[in-house]
Structure 1
Amino acid sequence: MVRLDENEISFPDPEIYDGHEGLIAFGGDLSIERIWFAYQLGIFPWYNPGEEILWWCPDPRFVLFPDELKVSKSMRKILHQNVFSFTENQNFRGVIKNCQQISRKGQTGTWLSDELMETFITLHEFGLAKSIEVWQNEELVGGFYGLQIGNVFCGESMFAKVSNASKAGFIHFVETHKNDIELIDCQSHTSHLESLGARMISKKEFLKILHKNNERR
């Protein structure tokens, strides 16, 4: 595993360096320049606040192709009943703050540090990160955020305060952008996203799609 130099924005090439269980490097910083560069390489930070920053590029990679989206009859009914309304980029700070603070089953604390949160907020202000908000009775009840790299959306985190809110937001996002997004990077497996059609692909295939989209930008 490689230690990163805080004074140099570089990473090991994830196409030729596997690391241990996808762990590529550690150290460095959370500057907007490093975060943006990392995601263009298919690398993302995931660590416990107060500890060394860890950088990952797992193999296989958990992703969703928009045309493979699965929507259950019950979820389709909820969407048709307009239980929720949806917006994009209207409350990025609210979404990421909820992602940081929401209580999750089997998890204590959060991997989303204040410093990393502020970096993503700045990336949003530069038009590089986006949020999807889910509303019910004018209250923010769900949503998620991530980085857009060409036609690849790199999802970071989601939250829900009421049942089905994040799932409805995700379905709405995929169906709205199915013609301009080739792939949604979900990073690591969750049963929640698997039920919506996400699946594993090799790191090699993921990086090939990501690099192709980088070249289009």
Structure 2
Amino acid sequence: MPIRLPLLPADPEAPFPPAARAHPDPNGLLAMGGDLSPTRLLNAYRHGIFPWFSEGDPILWWCPDPRMVFDTAGFRLPSRFRRSLRGSGWQVRADTAFDRVVLACALQPRPGQDGTWITQDMMDAYGALHRLGHAHSVEVYDGRRLVGGIYGVGIGRMFFGESMFSGVSGGSKAALAGLCRILAGAGCPLLDAQVENAHLASLGGQRLPRPDFLAQVARLAAAPAPPGLWAPDRTDFQAARLAGPAGD
């Protein structure tokens, strides 16, 4: 039986349907249509909703239950990878190559996926959010080479992860760990990872029931953003620091 979805009105400030009306199968499908303007996107994220669709399809909006999240202060890399990081010369930075990170995420092969959901329209939309100061990236460099990255949307003390990539083995893990370190250090406790999968779960991602997630988003997104959250003195450091002390 075809799914009947609410069609969003043209006004980008129009409210989304209540998340409780999202379909259980596919999990979290809530509405369709609208646009990818900064106003619409920020309105969506403030309500725990995100766009996800393929090239040629209408814009689809999602709010799955449960939600995959990370406790930023409790994030911990696997012990073997931490040992390898201690000897690496990798460097973590933020907002130095946003467009390159998004493009690399779009080009990253994904098991079980044919193509990418990061269309040119999506790249343009998140690039606009970045220029307005709402979207951010964390990069991992080996010298001048970009070896990993992650990007997403920050509102108040809440961060919504969108996608990450590895140029070499472990690059995305280091980027995720770097993002969690930056957020935790500024008092941003929760990182949204959207849809549950085995890889995120293996890195410590937790399942949060949708009502609990939305309550957290309402509280954290309404809080003032920490001053200087994305300043270089907070976001430029050696990746070896993500490994913790030797013997840990």
TM-score, shorter chain, exceeding 0.5: yes
Q: 2:15 aligned with 1:13, yes or no?
A: no
Correspondence for 2:116 = 110
Correspondence for 1:183 = 190
Residue type at the aligned position of 1:7: D
The alignment covers a number of residue pairs equal to 216
Segment drifting more, 130-139 vs 99-108:
99-108
Indicate the RMSD between aligned Cα atoms, in angstroms. Answer: 1.4
Superposed, which structure 2 residues align to 1:31-180 within 5 Å?
Answer: 31-179=37-185, 180=187
User: What TM-score, normalized to structure 2?
Assistant: 0.83
1:76 Cα offset (Å): 1.2
CA gap 1:119/1:8 in 2 versus in 1, 3 angstroms: closer
Q: CA deviation digits over 1:55-110, x for unaligned, max 9?
A: 00001101011233232221211221134211100000100011112222222111
User: What TM-score, normalized to structure 1?
Assistant: 0.94
Q: CA deviation digits over 1:116-155, x for unaligned, max 9?
A: 1111011101110000011113111210100012221100
Look up the SS of the partner of 1:59 in the other structure.
coil
Output the CA distance in 2 between the equivalents of 1:9 and 1:210.
19
Cα pair 2:32 2:60 within 8 Å, conserved: yes
Cα pair 1:84 1:165 within 8 Å, conserved: no
Structure 1 stretches of 4+ with a deviation exceeding 3 A read none
For structure 2, list consecutive stretches of 5 or more residues without a partner in the other structure.
Answer: 225-248
Look up the SS of the partner of 1:178 in the other structure.
helix
Look up the SS of the partner of 1:110 in the other structure.
coil
Output the CA distance in 2 between the equivalents of 1:111 and 1:83.
33
Cα pair 1:75 1:168 within 8 Å, conserved: no
For structure 1, list consecutive stretches of 5 or more residues without a partner in the other structure.
Answer: none
Output the CA distance in 1 between the equivalents of 2:73 and 2:145.
30
**Percent of aligned positions with the same letter in both sequences?**
36
Correspondence for 1:201 = 208
Cα pair 1:45 1:55 within 8 Å, conserved: yes
Segment drifting more, 163-172 vs 3-12:
3-12
Segment drifting more, 133-142 vs 84-93:
133-142
Residue type at the aligned position of 2:120: D
Q: 2:11 aligned with 1:4, yes or no?
A: no
Q: CA deviation digits over 1:146-181, x for unaligned, max 9?
A: 001222110000111110011011112212331321
Higher gyration radius (CA): 2
